[in-house]
């Protein structure tokens, strides 16, 4: 039952650098005027410069070719092209192989999406969409907005299953998404973190599908064990709503870990547990109060009041730019405890061990970060 | 070939529901198998005369379910294949109450008759993956052990739960009979005509807003193969039968070249009810629930026990698309051409800009 995403090489780094299988017009054409060196030719500082070295000395006669290739280009297409290219003129006067490939890749991606030519695994995980759309968006957030520093990635195994257990915070569960995107980017094997979400997430339309497409599934033991059994990296936040719905005054105080269902899932599959401490999530939407009657009315676990929400309306949805630190702790092996998956004593002890590890790491991280909104 | 007692192919096989597409094909296939002596097709007395050319080697008997008991004993039946299930209410056959009569009462009488048939040693029952019910707390993939968390809203799902309950009771009382329960995913294929194939044949396909369920299909020919093997081989137990792999609904619609029209869920439920009362279309709450929750099952037990892997969901769906290319709105060729046009346009514009600036 290997998911189809395993065959896929998670190599893409660039924003639209989707895996390209189609013999699309991507290799083509190196149309440079020849008087600018390639090093200056990349005016986009945010892009990794690895993929922009075209064959420098190929005087391809592209302009005449392009015009002769599509003599039937209708005015509508011209307008369309102008619209799509509208964001480009700032750079298009620079030599354009890099951008041309981006456009070609983007269009090929669009075509594949529209014709259904992609794979979804049995949990609904769409690795192509995640790589091309969700991770780039999250990358902006975690890298540029939260200035996240990640340490201890070497504790996450390069292959095989592991259960990543973190602290939950931040009124909305943004920390889970940030963790999965950051781990995917920083990890040498670019592994996907398969998040386990509360069933409330899967009750909501749209949100449920976003969760599934990014690799999430319902937090229940059959799903967790199935993912771990398939060698996946599973992310879980045992605090649940108690963690994200706590007041700002209780920040970085780990809540109860429930029944420790995550521990029994790890024990049953003999999977190592990697505790992870996330600092910064508590300050993005500091929850000052919880309007309980309103929450009950809306059937939500809590209704948050932050300095900006609901005061500023939709503007209050913008997370405050806190400084984030993520540290992965050394894995706790469980392979020797496989028989004790139903032993409550073992389960609770292990859950406590994980909880204390995270709590202590949180304290050390907080000392390293005196100013929550520092650089 | 010795009837009764030994394992191997049974001598006399009764197939119920031969007036329907699946039953007719299964009966015809069993009749063509030289290892089986007699194939008797049982059908309700008021059923039509469809599939008669298919069933020329099958003895057809039209009885109502109540008199089935004596029949099975008189005929010295070795095996029964129970396929007489109605997946959606048919206004011409009594709507929902007729459906329930057939699915629940009919199956009960069938099982009662089986219980009294002395020589019976094999029972194959068609069930459905709808047996897992629908709930937001459901695991993503159902194994045969998964218990339904909530009773489904749809009539068919409830009927299936009842039916499986009766089969469990039958297993207890007749432990000498090899009982096989096959939980089929929705059928699809080049020729099959089901609620889902009709759904995907429309040019504009209604979906539930904000939901993109994961679906699995089973190719009709693979369903026949599994049913056939269940009769000529011994496979006691309950098995999920589905094409491995998953298609999301939006993906399936795009692959079929159709256009999805998202509808808010309460609206869709209402529309389904309205369509039902007005007598056209057969979308029920079963379909709405499937399109909200999706349904994916684990088929490893089937693959191990039968040594047979049905073609994947994507392949089965591809076969269906090839046969139903009539209502295609957007083809892949058109998309590829559009991609090329836009790309060429962008290249032209950019080269023009560059020429002007240089």
Q: How far apart are CA A253 and CA A250, in angstroms?
A: 6
Q: Where are the domains of chain B?
A: 12-333
pLDDT of residue B274: 65
Task: Determine the residue of chain A that is closest to B291 in CA distance.
Answer: A205
pLDDT of residue A101: 87
Average pLDDT of span A116-131: 94
Of A78 and B125, the one with more pLDDT: B125
Cα-based distances in Å from B209 to A205, A289, B184, B199, B267: 7, 33, 27, 17, 10
Interchain CB contacts (distance < 8 Å): A and B: 162
**Of the candidates A25, A82, A218, which has its C-beta nearest B343's C-beta?**
A25
Average pLDDT of span A24-49: 41
Of A343 and B275, the one with more pLDDT: A343
Interface ipTM above 0.85: yes
Which chain A residues have a beta carbon less than 8 Å from that of B245?
4, 122
**Range from A7-16, A275-284, B57-66, B293-302 carrying the lowest mean pLDDT:** A7-16
The token pair at A326 is 């993520």
Q: Do A222 and B300 touch (CB under 8 A)?
A: no
Q: How far apart are CA B80 and CA B268, in angstroms?
A: 39
Q: pLDDT at residue B144 above 60?
A: yes
Q: Can you give the length of chain B in residues?
A: 358
Q: Do B251 and A220 touch (CB under 8 A)?
A: no
Q: pLDDT at residue B206 above 70?
A: yes
The token pair at B202 is 């429309």
Give the three-class secondary structure for A130.
helix
**Would you place residue A39 in the very low, low, confident or very high pLDDT band (cuts 50, 70, 90)?**
very low
Is A373 contained in some domain? no
Which chain B residues have a beta carbon less than 8 Å from that of A67?
348, 351
Give the three-class secondary structure for B201.
helix
Q: pLDDT at residue A231 above 50?
A: yes
Q: Do A107 and B343 touch (CB under 8 A)?
A: yes
Task: Determine the residue of chain B that is closest to A94 in CA distance.
Answer: B354
d(CA B5, nearest CA chain A) in Å: 38
Is A54 contained in some domain? no
Which chain A residues have a beta carbon less than 8 Å from that of B309?
none
Of B261 and A234, the one with more pLDDT: A234
Q: Do B255 and A116 touch (CB under 8 A)?
A: yes
Q: How far apart are CA B146 and CA B132, in angstroms?
A: 7
What does A110-125 look like in DSSP terms, one character per residue?
HHHHHTT-S---TT--
Task: Determine the residue of chain B that is closest to A4 in CA distance.
Answer: B245
The token pair at B72 is 């099975």
| Interface probe with A: pick from B332, B346, B352, most Cβ of A within 10 Å | B346
Give the three-class secondary structure for B81.
strand
Is A273 contained in some domain? yes
Task: Determine the residue of chain A that is closest to B210 in CA distance.
Answer: A206
Q: How far apart are CA A55 and CA A5, in angstroms?
A: 32
What does A279-300 look like in DSSP terms, one character per residue?
ESGGGTS---EE-HHHHHHTT-
Burial of A358 (C-beta count, 10 Å sphere; 0-12/13-18/19+): buried
Shared domain for A206 and A354, answered yes or no, is yes
**Of the candidates B138, B254, B343, which has its C-beta nearest A115's C-beta?**
B254
User: Is B87 within 8 Å of B144 (Cβ atoms)?
Assistant: no
**Residue that finishes a domain, picked among A118, A147, A178:** A118
**Of the candidates B245, B257, B348, which has its C-beta nearest A66's C-beta?**
B348
Whether B267 contacts chain A with CB within 8 A: no
What fold is seen in the domain B12-333?
Rossmann fold (3.40.50)
pLDDT of residue A168: 94
Q: Do B350 and A92 touch (CB under 8 A)?
A: yes
Angle at A116 between CA A114 and CA A122, to 5 degrees: 140
Which chain A residues have a beta carbon less than 8 Å from that of B342?
77, 80-81, 84, 107
Which chain B residues have a beta carbon less than 8 Å from that of A69?
344
d(CA A104, nearest CA chain B) in Å: 7
Sign of the dihedral defined by the CA atoms of residues A198, A202, A205, A207, in that order:
positive
Q: Do B349 and A82 touch (CB under 8 A)?
A: yes
**Of the candidates A67, A117, A205, which has its C-beta nearest B210's C-beta?**
A205
Q: Do B339 and A212 touch (CB under 8 A)?
A: no
pLDDT of residue B60: 87
Shared domain for A196 and A337, answered yes or no, is yes
Average pLDDT of span B192-205: 84
Q: Where are the beta strands (DSSP E) in chain A?
A: 149-151, 162-166, 193-197, 217-218, 233-236, 273-279, 289-290, 304-305, 325-328
Q: Do B354 and A96 touch (CB under 8 A)?
A: yes
**Range from A246-260, B189-203, B258-272 carrying the lowest mean pLDDT:** B258-272
Q: pLDDT at residue B186 above 90?
A: yes
**Would you place residue A228 in the very low, low, confident or very high pLDDT band (cuts 50, 70, 90)?**
very high
Q: pLDDT at residue A75 above 70?
A: no
User: Is A148 within 8 Å of A325 (Cβ atoms)?
Assistant: yes
Which chain B residues have a beta carbon less than 8 Å from that of A199?
136-137
Q: Identify the CA nearest to B238 among candidates B194, B178, B191, B286.
A: B178
Shared domain for A110 and A209, answered yes or no, is no
**Would you place residue A34 in the very low, low, confident or very high pLDDT band (cuts 50, 70, 90)?**
very low
d(CA B148, nearest CA chain A) in Å: 13
Q: Do B345 and A70 touch (CB under 8 A)?
A: yes
Q: Identify the CA nearest to B140 among candidates A123, A262, A235, A195.
A: A123
Is A348 contained in some domain? yes
Where are the alpha helices (H) located in chain B, listed in sequence order? 21-31, 68-74, 95-100, 106-116, 155-173, 195-201, 220-232, 249-255, 265-277, 285-293, 300-306, 313-323, 332-357
Task: Determine the residue of chain B that is closest to A34 in CA distance.
Answer: B358
Burial call B27-55: b when 16+ CB within 10 Å, e when fewer = bbbbbeeeebebbbbbbbeebeeebeebb
Q: Do B344 and A69 touch (CB under 8 A)?
A: yes
Domain CATH code at residue A232: 3.40.1130.10
Task: Determine the residue of chain B that is closest to A202 in CA distance.
Answer: B136
d(CA B84, nearest CA chain A) in Å: 31
Q: Do B141 and A212 touch (CB under 8 A)?
A: no
**Would you place residue A48 in the very low, low, confident or very high pLDDT band (cuts 50, 70, 90)?**
very low
Q: Nearest 5°: phi and psi at A192? A: -90, 135
- Strands A289-290 and A304-305, how do they pair? antiparallel
Shared domain for A114 and A142, answered yes or no, is no
Q: Return the percent helix, strand and coil in chain B, to nearest 5.
A: 45, 15, 40
Q: Do A93 and B339 touch (CB under 8 A)?
A: no
The token pair at B279 is 């007598």
| Interface probe with B: pick from A35, A65, A66, most Cβ of B within 10 Å | A66
Q: pLDDT at residue A32 above 80?
A: no
User: Is A166 within 8 Å of A278 (Cβ atoms)?
Assistant: yes
Q: pLDDT at residue A219 above 60?
A: yes
CA dihedral A344, A349, A350, A355 (to 10 degrees): 120
User: Is B218 within 8 Å of B288 (Cβ atoms)?
Assistant: no
Which chain A residues have a beta carbon less than 8 Å from that of B353?
89, 92-93
**Residue that finishes a domain, picked among A118, A145, A172:** A118
Question: What one-character DSSP code corresponds to residue B46?
Answer: T
Average pLDDT of span B7-22: 85
Question: What one-character DSSP code corresponds to residue A131?
Answer: I
Tell me how many domains chain A contains: 2
Whether B318 contacts chain A with CB within 8 A: no
Average pLDDT of span A168-180: 92
d(CA B199, nearest CA chain A) in Å: 18
User: Is B122 within 8 Å of B177 (Cβ atoms)?
Assistant: yes
**pLDDT tens for each residue of B281-310:** 556 778 888 888 999 999 999 999 999 999
Is A179 contained in some domain? yes
* Average pLDDT across chain A, whole number: 79
Which chain B residues have a beta carbon less than 8 Å from that of A117?
255, 332
Task: Determine the residue of chain A that is closest to B216 in CA distance.
Answer: A122
Q: Which domain holds residue A102?
A: 11-21+76-118
Shared domain for A101 and A219, answered yes or no, is no
Q: Tell me the pTM.
A: 0.81
Of A45 and A339, the one with more pLDDT: A339
**Of the candidates B246, B338, B351, which has its C-beta nearest A31's C-beta?**
B351
Q: Do A100 and B350 touch (CB under 8 A)?
A: yes
**Would you place residue B124 in the very low, low, confident or very high pLDDT band (cuts 50, 70, 90)?**
very high
| Interface probe with A: pick from B217, B244, B248, B350, most Cβ of A within 10 Å | B350
- Strands B204-208 and B187-188, how do they pair? unpaired
Shared domain for A99 and A204, answered yes or no, is no
Q: Nearest 5°: phi and psi at A345? A: -65, -50
Of A284 and B284, the one with more pLDDT: A284
Give strand pairing partners of A275: A165
Q: Do A114 and B137 touch (CB under 8 A)?
A: no
**Residue that finishes a domain, picked among A84, A118, A152:** A118
Task: Determine the residue of chain A that is closest to B349 in CA distance.
Answer: A82
Of all residues in chain A, the percent with pLDDT exceeding 70 is 74
Is A196 contained in some domain? yes
Is A95 contained in some domain? yes
Q: Which residue has the tokens 């060196």?
A: A37
**Would you place residue A43 in the very low, low, confident or very high pLDDT band (cuts 50, 70, 90)?**
very low
């Amino acid at each position: 039952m290997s998911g189809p995403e395993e065959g896929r090489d998670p190599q893409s780094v660039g924003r639209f650098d989707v895996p390209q299988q189609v013999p699309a017009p991507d290799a083509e054409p190196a149309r440079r005027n020849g008087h600018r060196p390639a090093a200056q030719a990349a005016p986009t500082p945010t892009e990794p410069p690895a993929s922009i070295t075209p064959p420098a000395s190929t005087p391809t006669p592209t302009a005449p070719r392009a015009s002769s290739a599509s003599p039937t280009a209708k005015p509508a297409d011209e307008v369309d092209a102008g619209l799509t290219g509208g964001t480009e003129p700032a750079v298009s006067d620079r030599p354009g192989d890099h951008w041309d490939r981006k456009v070609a890749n983007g269009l090929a991606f669009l075509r594949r999406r529209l014709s259904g030519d992609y794979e979804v695994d049995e949990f609904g995980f769409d690795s192509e969409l995640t790589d091309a759309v969700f991770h780039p968006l999250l990358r902006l957030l975690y890298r540029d907005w939260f200035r996240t520093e990640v340490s201890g990635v070497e504790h996450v195994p390069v292959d095989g299953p592991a259960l990543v257990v973190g602290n939950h915070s931040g009124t909305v569960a943004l920390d889970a998404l940030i963790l999965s995107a950051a781990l995917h980017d920083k990890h040498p094997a670019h592994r996907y973190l398969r998040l386990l979400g509360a069933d409330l997430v899967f009750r909501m339309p749209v949100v449920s599908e976003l969760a599934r497409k990014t690799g999430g599934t319902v937090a229940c033991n059959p799903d967790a064990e199935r993912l771990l059994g398939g060698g996946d990296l599973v992310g879980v936040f045992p605090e649940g709503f108690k963690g994200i719905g706590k007041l700002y005054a209780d920040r970085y105080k780990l809540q109860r870990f429930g029944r420790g269902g995550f521990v029994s899932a790890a024990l049953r599959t003999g999977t190592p547990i990697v505790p992870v401490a996330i600092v910064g999530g508590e300050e993005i939407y500091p929850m000052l109060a919880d309007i309980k009657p309103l929450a009950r009315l809306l059937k939500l676990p809590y209704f948050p009041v932050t300095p900006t929400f609901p005061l500023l309306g939709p503007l209050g949805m913008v997370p405050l730019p806190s400084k984030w630190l993520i540290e992965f702790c050394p894995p706790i092996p469980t392979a020797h405890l496989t028989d004790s998956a139903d032993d409550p004593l073992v389960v609770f002890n292990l859950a406590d061990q994980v909880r204390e590890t995270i709590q202590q790491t949180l304290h050390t991280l907080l000392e390293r970060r005196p100013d929550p909104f520092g650089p | 070939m010795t009837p009764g007692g030994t394992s191997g192919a049974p001598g006399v096989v009764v197939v119920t529901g031969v007036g329907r597409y699946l039953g007719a094909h299964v009966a015809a296939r069993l009749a063509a198998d030289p290892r089986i002596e007699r194939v008797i097709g049982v059908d309700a007395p008021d059923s039509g005369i469809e599939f008669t050319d298919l069933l020329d080697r099958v003895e057809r008997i039209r009885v109502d379910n109540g008199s089935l008991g004596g029949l099975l004993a008189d005929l010295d039946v070795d095996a029964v294949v129970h396929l007489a299930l109605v997946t959606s209410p048919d206004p011409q056959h009594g709507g929902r109450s007729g459906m329930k009569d057939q699915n629940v009462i009919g199956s009960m009488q069938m099982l009662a008759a089986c219980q009294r048939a002395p020589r019976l040693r094999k029972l194959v029952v068609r069930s459905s993956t709808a047996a897992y019910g629908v709930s937001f707390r459901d695991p993503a993939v159902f194994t045969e052990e998964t218990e339904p968390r909530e009773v489904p809203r749809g009539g068919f799902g409830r009927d299936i739960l009842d039916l499986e309950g009766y089969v469990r009771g039958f297993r207890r009382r007749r432990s000498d009979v090899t009982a096989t329960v096959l939980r089929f995913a929705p059928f699809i294929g080049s020729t099959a005509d089901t609620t889902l194939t009709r759904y995907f044949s429309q040019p504009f396909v209604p979906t539930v807003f904000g939901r993109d369920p994961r679906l699995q299909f089973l190719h009709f020919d693979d369903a026949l193969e599994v049913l056939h093997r269940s009769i000529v081989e011994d496979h006691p137990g309950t098995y999920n039968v589905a094409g491995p792999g998953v298609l999301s609904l939006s993906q399936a619609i795009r692959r079929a070249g159709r256009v999805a029209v998202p509808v808010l869920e309460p609206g869709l439920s209402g529309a389904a009810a309205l369509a039902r009362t007005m007598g056209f279309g057969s979308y029920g709450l079963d379909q709405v629930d499937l399109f909200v929750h999706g349904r994916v099952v684990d088929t490893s037990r089937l693959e191990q026990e039968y040594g047979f892997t049905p073609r994947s969901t994507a392949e089965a769906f591809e076969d269906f698309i090839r046969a139903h290319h009539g209502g295609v709105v957007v083809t892949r060729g058109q998309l590829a051409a559009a991609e090329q046009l836009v790309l060429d346009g962008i290249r032209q514009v950019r080269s023009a800009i560059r020429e002007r600036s240089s």
